[in-house]
Amino acid sequence: MALSEDRPINDRARELLEEHRDSIYRRTDHMFAWLMLFQWIAGIGIALWVSPYSWAGRTQYIHPHIWSALVVGGLICSLPILLARYYPGKAITRQTIAVGQALASALLIHLMGGRIEAHFHIFGSLAFLAFYRDWKVLVTASIVVAVDHLVRGLLWPESLYGISLFGWHRSLEHVGWIVFEDVFLIYSTWISCREMTVIANRRAEMEKMQAEVEREVTERTREIELQRLVLQESHERLERQTIELRKAIESSEGANRAKSAFLANMSHEIRTPLTAILGFADVLLETGDIYKAPVERIDAIETIRRNGSHLISLINDLLDFSKIEAGKFQVENLPCSLHRLIADIRQLMQVRAEEKKLNINVEYSGPIPEMILTDPTRLRQILMNLLSNAIKFTHEGNVNMNVGLVGKAPNRRIQIDVTDTGIGISEEMRGKLFQPFTQADGSMSRRFGGTGLGLTISKRFAELLGGDLTILETSHTGTTFRLTIDPGPLHNVTFQEPETTYSAPDLEKSKPSDTKNALRELKILLVEDGPDNQRLISFLLKKAGAEVDMAENGELGYQKATAASESGSPFDVILMDMQMPIMDGYTASTKLRADGYNGPIIALTAHAMAEDRNRCIEAGCTDYTTKPVDRAKLIELIRFHAEAASV
């Protein structure tokens, strides 16, 4: 029985010692069973070899040694072998074996003619008996040897001592040698038993420790199992929450998608009529003897144009803000000349500033990189917004821009401070300024216009460009906004000194001198489903000198373009509306490109989001422009692609 924790260690040690002893006894019993069997056979062999026959003159007889070896030898080993077989490990067995082994020694000595060498069998037998590690068997065997000597010494003294008289001292001498060996063997047995006791004690201690360790392991395992169950429960709860969250996210994404789709559709639906409204307002202003018209009519047309432009601006801001809120707004990372960009913006805004007799000053505090990596469109949008606000809220004085490079690598930033001498911002509104749909007060919108989204979007753009937009200071004498952006890596970038800054080209020079006849001799296919836009755009194109053919949807456009190409007079440019019934512009463009059509296709769409451009290009369009139509830009785009195609 293994040791339990509450069992005395000495009991277990005793039990282990007994087990060990029993094992030794059994093993030695079996060893002696085989040894005695071997001795029996050997005795018979010796008798046959040494004294096979006894003789009387000429007559021979089987020698009595043969019978002695066979019968006495068999008798000697029979009981020990039987006991070793059926009662191994018992005291009676090893005591019988001790007696048998001593008698076997005596028999073998007789069979071998009493030679002195044969007597060593006794010493060998005692050594073998010491395997039992039981001193009692040594005593038993020694007693048998002593009795044999004493009895034989008394009966036949000469056979033992060479003289005819029995002498105690001779017997004691013989027995003395046996005792001499016994002393060593018994001592060795005692030592061995002591070691066995020590081993048993250690093993019992080890078992006790093992039992303690097992108990500890069991407890720990139970604790771990409990922890595992708790963890499993937490995991399952977390999984449930994850599923719920995923559903919520999916639901939210679905709502976002719906919102985006709604905004895109709304943008399209609003831009399409605005295209006609603004376009025809322009037409009204430019056609006929407009100078003869009453001032009220011209004011009315101007009002239509201004409000239309405001509406376009509002839609653009709403689209941008919506995309930013949805986290889907992606900025580009393009090389950009900061000098040129600022010069362009300054020149662009200077016109509006001059209307209020303001001046825009640009200062550079030290050299700035010739080229930076940023999204120039968004940077332009931010700066335009800042300048626009500065001009809007400044009645006299000027607007200053201070541009510089601040910080140390790798945290260098472009810093642009826009300072005006305007009315300032109250402390109350300062914290709310970058929140959407917030303006200084309700009257602002009425007084100055604007959607209330400009600064919000600008700040988000600044963050997307790796920087920030903050109010540096504000008072009733003016306000300073600080814009910082990440210029990207500046290794191997040359720096420009302020005096070498780029001088923006004159807008007047860059504008096409005249749109009249700009598209002369060009054959254009206009694929457009809206009748108002058909009339407006075809009017603009025709006025620019182009020959315009019309198609009401993508399928008709595809057929007309294919037919023209097959007849050998393909269109110079196809203007493709993308949102049409029957077949949309994407499908029509894709089919045309699949048929090998190489001419320029310019997408004309009310979808003004960034991914819409990519979608158009992927569908096979050469370029992209949005509604409402900017007449000059459209004509310039058509002319550019027509010339590029002809080259």
Partner 1 sequence: MYDQWQQAMKEDTQPRGISHAGRSLLPVIAGIWVVLIGGAFTALLGYHNIPGQRSDHGMVWPINHSIKLDTQRPNLMVFIHPQCPCSVATLNELARIQAVCGVRLNTQVIFYSPTEMQWEDTSKVRQALAIPNVHITNDADGQLAQQFGALTSGHTMLYSGDGRRIFSGGITPTRGHEGDNLGRKSIVQYVLDGETDCDRTNVFGCPILVTPSEVVINSRGSEHGVK
In the complex, the residues that contact partner 1 under the rule CB under 8 A are 50-58, 60, 63-65, 68, 71-72, 75-76, 78-79, 87, 90-96, 99, 103, 106-107, 110, 113-116, 136, 139-140, 143-144, 147-148, 152, 155-156, 158-164
**By C-beta, is 189 or 381 nearer to partner 1?**
189
**By C-beta, is 63 or 523 nearer to partner 1?**
63
SS3 of the chain: helix, strand, coil, percent, to 5 = 65, 15, 25
Q: Count other Cβ atoms within 10 Å, centred on residue 389.
A: 21
| Nearest residue to 315 via CA among 531, 606, 604 | 606
Give Cβ neighbours of residue 631 (< 8 Å, ≥ 6 apart).
Answer: 279, 282, 515, 540
**Cα 527 to Cα 574: distance, rounded to the nearest angstrom:** 7
How near is the Cβ of 222 to partner 1 at its closest, in Å?
41
How near is the Cβ of 185 to partner 1 at its closest, in Å?
16
| Nearest residue to 173 via CA among 183, 185, 186, 160 | 160
DSSP 93-142: HHHHHHHHHHHHHHHHHHHTTT-GGGGHHHHHHHHHHGGG--HHHHHHHH
Rg (CA), the chain: 59
**By C-beta, is 164 or 443 nearer to partner 1?**
164
DSSP 341-372: HHHHHHHHHHHHHHHTT-EEEEEEES-EES-E
How near is the Cβ of 123 to partner 1 at its closest, in Å?
18
**By C-beta, is 76 or 358 nearer to partner 1?**
76
**By C-beta, is 87 or 640 nearer to partner 1?**
87
How near is the Cβ of 104 to partner 1 at its closest, in Å?
10
**Cα 109 to Cα 101: distance, rounded to the nearest angstrom:** 12
- Per-residue DSSP letter, 545: T
The residues that bridge with 403 in the sheet, in sequence order, are 364, 416
DSSP 387-433: HHHHHHT-SSSEEEEEEEEES-TTS-EEEEEEE--S----HHHHTTT
The end-to-end CA distance of the chain, in Å, is: 103
> Tokens 């069991």 sit at which residue?
218
- Alpha helical stretches, state H, 449-518: 454-464, 507-510
The residues that bridge with 482 in the sheet, in sequence order, are 417, 470
**Cα 433 to Cα 422: distance, rounded to the nearest angstrom:** 16
275: left (phi over 0), alpha (psi -120 to 50) or beta: alpha
How near is the Cβ of 127 to partner 1 at its closest, in Å?
20
Pair 98, 140: CB distance under 8 Å: yes
